[in-house]
Amino acid sequence: MYEYIQGKLAELAPAYAVVETGGVGYLLHISLQTYSEIEGRSEVKLFTHFVVREDAQLFFGFSTKTERELFRQLISVSGVGGNTARMILSTYSPRELQSIITTENAVLLKNVKGLGLKTAQKIIVELSGKLTALFDGEDGPLPVAGNGDAVYDEATAALVMLGFPKAASDKVVRAILKEQPDISVEETVRMSLKRL
């Protein structure tokens, strides 16, 4: 129904973006991949997937059509909803996810919060062979270096927004920043998601 929303980036957080166009602000739920690609921009174009549920109407936004199509493939699997698909795309880049599915690595896939081994295996079985056509030379996001305090604050806030306890998020982010002081916010959150 809606292909994309283009306009002024009014607000940005690791889990959502508000895009203002025509005097209306649209809240779009985004992955960390999309967050890293639109961070610092004033104007954005996000490809959308619109979900109508009994209790809500939601927009999911993506910086590329490839990421949106991957999201759609994920939610086509029984037991995988929009938030789980977004969590998967926040934990693994589209290329990493393709590799996990191609190599049938369900153990690695179940590291995503809220994803059990059976659902991970179901994703691999149902999407095996379907993802090859999605990747037509698109590269993943480039890492963005930041200072430790800003990275700590943003990464911890992102994890709390994604539903992790503040204390656990704080501990994991501090450990990662101690190991790699020049890491980007996106990579910090990805590594944290794998450890939580």
User: CATH assignment of 4-62, given 1.10.10.10, 3.50.50.60, 2.40.50.140, 3.40.50.300?
Assistant: 2.40.50.140
- Predicted TM-score (pTM) above 0.85: no
Given a cut of 80, whether residue 118 has pLDDT beyond it is: yes
d(CA 116, CA 66): 25
What's the mean pLDDT when you consider all of the chain?
87
pLDDT at 167: 80
* Structural fold of domain 65-134: DNA polymerase; domain 1 (1.10.150)
pLDDT at 133: 62
Q: Which part of the chain is CATH 2.40.50.140?
A: 4-62
Given a cut of 50, whether residue 147 has pLDDT beyond it is: no
Over pLDDT 70: what percentage of the chain? Answer: 91
**128 pLDDT tier (thresholds 50, 70, 90):** confident
User: CATH assignment of 148-195, given 3.40.50.720, 3.60.15.10, 1.10.8.10, 3.30.300.30?
Assistant: 1.10.8.10
pLDDT at 134: 65
